[in-house]
């Protein structure tokens, strides 16, 4: 077991939040077509409030801190926040579109000892990237930022959200990442908007494209291993937890709301009204999330993929039941292995039952 | 006469106490360390102003009941290893500007 895995296991055993994702603003200078956020400012935490939260997080044992948004540099106090975070010795990762990063900002990030900068790039072609961000010239500015950051010796990672509109440019983004000397991660997950609007889910790539990704040796390594049929689940799998959300990690919004994860919008408390540790330890919502084991999932516990699925409890929650399946992950498991999930099989059965009832009604 | 060593915590690190052990990560090369109680005590005392020999004699030997010679050798090995990863700065003169203030948590 690596030291990092040991650290995570220890945090899990001790019930400590080792990792926190803090969005410091939802404001943004881009208007990405797939974005789930409301970019208006409804009363963000002040600098003093955020600094207080950071001190509470350090007290609570948080080691990994992701600062994200919105666009983090929309806050004038961004560097003040990073500076305090680094004084508190967090391992800081910053997620940004890079548009506002010039040499001065890149130098400051290096001086502050930020661990990694993750930058969203949707395509290597300006006409595709800029059409997604709706900010003309954004790709050029983002690439320039990456070069500034690299010249400072910072670790940069390109995050490539894949949608139907940019799927064919994926290899171009990989080549761009290689040319810039930065790492590359792809993410085919599109989530509903915060207000529940699911219209942006239409941007998701189709299953056939997912299959192509999962069978790309360059992306997954050994295809045989990655796409192997799932082994029969043992007791350890059935007693297992789905992910770190609420167990060793959580998310805090710019308004102080605490959730199990950025992708799991179950309101669990607010740091403006309660101490972070009180929320972490005593929130009924977080404790409910923590209580769930694979064996408690009505459909998924019967699924062949239960031990290997990337099932996201947050996506399941957004579909209406945190103990239910996440259909996007059912699709991923299916496209990876060719074996339908229990939920897909049940859906097919429900669908055929539905048709029978219709026929009866018509008769 | 042996040259004194002064040690200071680098600013380019992340660190947190977790279940009695100090977790330290170097931002320079992402090397990750867990420090046991003795190593944590040396690391926390690395203020850039106190000589290593004084840290060992005044803190380590007092708190952990180890013989001074053995403790000094162990401390020097530990300091060498962490300095190679940029986690500790070492000098034969005081390093007053270097150590980030440790928040007592």
Average pLDDT of the segment spanning A152-157: 96
The token duo for A85 is: 């975070």
Residue-level pLDDT at A146: 98
CB contact under 8 A, A87 and B23: no
CB contact under 8 A, B18 and A115: no
The token duo for A198 is: 């699911």
B44 touches chain A (CB under 8 A): no
DSSP code, position A118: E
Average pLDDT of the segment spanning A247-265: 97
The least confident of A9-23, A99-113, A239-253, B54-68 is: B54-68
CB contact under 8 A, A89 and B18: no
pLDDT exceeds 80 at position A351 = no
CB contact under 8 A, A55 and B103: yes
Strand, helix or coil for residue B55? helix
CB contact under 8 A, A89 and B33: no
Q: Mind telling me how many Å the CA of B100 is from chain A's nearest CA?
A: 7
Beta strands per DSSP E along B1-105: 6-9, 13-18, 21-26, 32-35, 47-51, 88-91
CB contact under 8 A, A7 and B18: yes
Cα(first)–Cα(last) distance of chain B, in Å?
38
Is the separation of the CB atoms in A203 and A164 below 8 Å? yes
Residue A258 phi/psi, 5° resolution?
Answer: -110, 135
CB contact under 8 A, B27 and A114: yes
CA distance B8 to B44: 9
Burial A161-178 (b: 16+ CB within 10 A, else e): bbbebbbebbebbbebbe
Rg from Cα positions in chain B: 13
Which of A19, A59, A89, A277 would best serve as a mutation to test chain B binding (most B beta carbons within 10 A)? A89
Q: pLDDT tens for residues B31-70?
A: 888 888 888 889 889 999 999 999 999 889 988 888 888 8
Torsion of CA B30, B32, B37, B38, to 10 degrees: -70
**Residue spans per domain, chain B:** 6-93
Give the closest residue to A343 by CA, choosing from A312, A314, A305: A305
DSSP code, position A240: -
Residue-level pLDDT at B105: 45
Confidence of residue B2 (pLDDT cuts 50, 70, 90): low
pLDDT exceeds 50 at position A138 = yes
Q: B6-93 belongs to which CATH class? A: alpha beta
Average pLDDT of the segment spanning A203-230: 93
Question: Is the model more confident about B85 or about A73?
Answer: A73
CA distance A85 to A331: 39
Q: Among B13, B19, B32, select the one facing A3 at the smallest CB separation.
A: B32
Beta bridge partners of A160: A186
Residue B41 phi/psi, 5° resolution?
Answer: -65, -40
Q: How many helices (H) and strands (E) does chain B have?
A: 4, 6
pLDDT exceeds 70 at position B104 = no
CA distance A47 to B39: 35
Burial B19-31 (b: 16+ CB within 10 A, else e): eebbbbbbbeeeb
**What percent of chain A is predicted at pLDDT more than 70?**
96
The least confident of A145-159, B4-18, B83-97 is: B83-97
Q: Mind telling me how many Å the CA of A278 is from chain B's nearest CA?
A: 17
Q: Among A3, A55, A90, select the one facing B14 at the smallest CB separation.
A: A90
Average pLDDT of the segment spanning B85-99: 82
Give the closest residue to A51 by CA, choosing from A7, A90, A12: A90
CB contact under 8 A, A89 and B103: yes
Q: Among B23, B100, B101, select the one facing A7 at the smallest CB separation.
A: B23
CB contact under 8 A, A88 and B103: yes
Which of B9, B13, B15, B23 would best serve as a mutation to test chain A binding (most A beta carbons within 10 A)? B23
Q: What is the mean pLDDT of chain A?
A: 93
DSSP code, position A261: B
B77 touches chain A (CB under 8 A): no
**What percent of chain B is predicted at pLDDT more than 90?**
33
pLDDT exceeds 80 at position A55 = yes
Beta bridge partners of B18: B21
**What percent of chain A is predicted at pLDDT more than 90?**
88
Chain A residue numbers with beta carbons less than 8 Å from the beta carbon of B32 are 3-4, 7
B86 touches chain A (CB under 8 A): no
Confidence of residue A24 (pLDDT cuts 50, 70, 90): very high
Report the complex ipTM.
0.82
Q: Among A6, A16, A89, select the one facing B13 at the smallest CB separation.
A: A89
CB contact under 8 A, B16 and A58: yes
Residue A171 region by backbone torsions, left for phi larger than 0, else alpha for psi between -120 and 50, else beta? alpha
The DSSP-derived string for A141-192 is HHHHHHHHHHHTT--EEEEEE--TTTGGGHHHHHHHHHHHT-EEEEE-----
Q: What is the pTM of this model?
A: 0.90
The least confident of A116-125, A308-317, A344-353, B74-83 is: A344-353
Q: Mind telling me how many Å the CA of B82 is from chain A's nearest CA?
A: 16
Q: What is the mean pLDDT of chain B?
A: 85
Cβ-based neighbours of A144, under 8 Å, separated by 6 or more: A98, A102
Residue of B nearest to A18 (CA): B18
Q: Among A61, A91, A92, select the one facing B18 at the smallest CB separation.
A: A61
Residue A264 phi/psi, 5° resolution?
Answer: -140, 80
Beta bridge partners of A259: A251
The token duo for A65 is: 């801190």
Average pLDDT of the segment spanning A9-30: 96
Residue of B nearest to A88 (CA): B103
Residue of A nearest to B10 (CA): A113
């Amino acid at each position: 077991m690596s030291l990092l895995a040991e650290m995570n296991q220890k945090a899990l055993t001790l019930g400590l939040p080792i990792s926190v994702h803090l969005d410091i603003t939802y404001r943004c200078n881009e208007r990405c077509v797939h974005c789930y956020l409301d970019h208006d400012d409804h009363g963000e935490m002040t600098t003093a409030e955020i600094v207080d939260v950071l001190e509470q997080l350090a007290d609570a044992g948080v080691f990994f801190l992701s600062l994200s948004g919105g666009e983090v540099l929309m806050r004038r106090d961004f560097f003040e926040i990073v500076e305090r975070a680094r004084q508190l010795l967090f391992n800081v990762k910053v997620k940004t579109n890079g548009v506002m990063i010039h040499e001065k900002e890149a130098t400051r990030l290096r001086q502050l000892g930020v661990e990694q900068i993750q930058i969203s790039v949707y395509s290597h072609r300006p006409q595709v990237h800029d059409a997604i961000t709706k900010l003309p010239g954004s790709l050029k500015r983002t690439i320039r930022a990456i070069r500034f950051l690299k010249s400072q010796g910072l670790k940069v990672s390109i995050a490539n959200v894949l949608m139907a509109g940019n799927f064919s440019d994926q290899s171009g983004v990989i080549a761009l990442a290689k040319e810039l000397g930065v790492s590359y991660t792809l993410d085919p997950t599109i989530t509903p908007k915060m207000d529940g609007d699911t219209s942006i889910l239409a941007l998701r790539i189709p299953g056939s494209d997912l299959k192509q990704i999962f069978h790309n040796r360059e992306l997954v390594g050994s295809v045989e291993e990655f796409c192997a049929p799932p082994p029969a689940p043992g007791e350890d799998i059935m007693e297992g937890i789905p992910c770190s959300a609420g167990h060793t990690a959580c998310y805090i919004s710019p308004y102080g709301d605490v959730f199990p994860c950025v992708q799991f919008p179950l309101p669990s408390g607010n740091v403006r009204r309660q101490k972070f540790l009180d929320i972490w330890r005593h929130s009924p919502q977080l404790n409910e999330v923590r209580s769930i084991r694979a064996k408690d999932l009505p459909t998924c516990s019967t699924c062949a993929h239960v031990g290997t699925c990337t099932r996201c409890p947050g996506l399941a929650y957004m579909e209406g039941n945190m103990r239910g399946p996440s259909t996007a992950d059912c699709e991923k498991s299916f496209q990876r292995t060719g074996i339908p999930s229990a939920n897909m099989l049940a859906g097919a059965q429900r669908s055929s039952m539905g048709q029978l009832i219709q026929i009866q009604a018509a008769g | 006469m042996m040259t004194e060593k002064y040690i200071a915590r680098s600013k380019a690190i992340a660190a947190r106490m977790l279940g009695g052990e100090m977790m330290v990560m170097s931002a320079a090369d992402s090397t990750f360390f867990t420090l046991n109680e003795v190593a944590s005590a040396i690391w926390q005392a690395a203020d850039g102003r106190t000589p290593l020999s004084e840290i060992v004699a005044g803190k380590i030997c007092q708190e952990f009941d180890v013989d001074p010679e053995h403790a000094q050798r162990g401390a020097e090995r530990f300091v060498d290893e962490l300095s190679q990863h940029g986690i500790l700065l070492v000098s034969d003169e005081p390093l007053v500007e270097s150590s980030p203030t440790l928040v007592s948590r």
